[in-house]
Amino acid sequence: MSAIIQIQNVSKTYNNGHQALHSINLDIKKGEILSLLGPNGAGKTTLISIICGLVNKSSGSILIDNFDNTTHYRQAREKIGLVPQELHLGMFDKVWNTLRYSRGLFGKKADDAYLDQLLKDLSLHDKKNEEMRNLSGGMKRRVLIAKALAHQPEILFLDEPTAGVDVELRKDMWQIVDKLRQSGVTIILTTHYIEEAEAIADRVGVINQGKIILLDETKAIMKRLGKKHMHLELQTPLSQLPDTLKALNFEMSEDGASLYYHFKNQKEYANIPKLLKAVTDCDILINELHTSKSSLEDIFVNLVTNEK
């Protein structure tokens, strides 16, 4: 698959001297869903803002469908729709006018049927003639999505789309993302939730302190980093780990009060009853069972440890 966005050696130092990006190289494939996963302050918004031409890069180059995003800004920019992290909307503008205006800005012919459908898809149709200031926070976010899509962009950026968003909107959003992907739109979203990246993305780029420290197919990343484990708190500490449990790859904590089991993949979840039976067969009483997945923090610790 060919690259629709080519990012070469892009660095950014803000005016206050803070270097937010360090020589980023990244090819984004046409039609893929790429998730940029990283903690707050990693540089995700900076990178997106630079690609969209809202922030100037300090060095490097960016091609959008082979158009340089500085020398051919217009051609590059019209291919992109951006749903920003922050809400920026004219409070006295009406929903419908905002969409028509946004479409017009990119030089696209008016297409009310398309905009109508967009409003329906986003459950905004009954708000068509409302002023922005009369909408709830969730509704405003829907309008931002509609606005980003008003000119039928080939590439859509969603910056932290689900931060502080209600369940309904989250569901609608993933449906829209799915529909867009089927129509061939390339989607780049940022998140600091692993589950989200895992659920939706074809590839995940892990970004930390202004560097992409890992980029791979989602499945490969999750296999490597998204390990899940089960933790059993025992009623009475064990003096040693029974052989049958050792054979099943259980591990015991140093104080003998906990047993751990690391799942290799999701399919192994089906083995939980069998694993628990093996434990009770050893006359071990369980106080509590916890299952958890590695957090973003764990992933970074893992990455750093693996690099050593």
Ligand X SMILES: Nc1ncnc2c1ncn2[C@@H]1O[C@H](COP(=O)(O)OP(=O)(O)O)[C@@H](O)[C@H]1O
Block residue for tokens 């708190």: 233
Stretch that binds ligand X, among 13-21, 69-77, 249-257, 273-281 (CB under 6 A): 13-21
x-marked contacts with Mg ion along 91-120 as a string, rule CB under 5 A: ------------------------------
CA pair distance 234, 155, nearest whole angstrom: 52
Angle at 142 between CA 175 and CA 89, to 5 degrees: 155
Q: Order of strands across the sheet with 211-217?
A: 80-83, 155-159, 186-191, 33-37, 203-208, 211-217
Stretch that binds Mg ion, among 40-48, 55-63, 74-82, 100-108 (CB under 5 A): 40-48
Radius of gyration, CA atoms only, the chain: 24
- Least distance from C-beta 43 to Mg ion, angstroms? 8
Our CB check for ligand X shows the closer of 213 and 282 to be: 213
Stretch that binds ligand X, among 10-18, 88-96, 211-219, 273-281 (CB under 6 A): 10-18
Beta-carbon count within 10 A of 302 CB: 15
- Round to the nearest angstrom and report the end-to-end CA distance of the chain: 34
* 132 three-state secondary structure: helix
- Least distance from C-beta 175 to ligand X, angstroms? 25
The verdict on 49 binding Mg ion (CB under 5 A) reads: no
- Least distance from C-beta 158 to Mg ion, angstroms? 11
Residues interacting with ligand X, by CB under 6 A?
14, 16, 18, 20, 38, 40-46
Residues interacting with Mg ion, by CB under 5 A?
44-45, 85
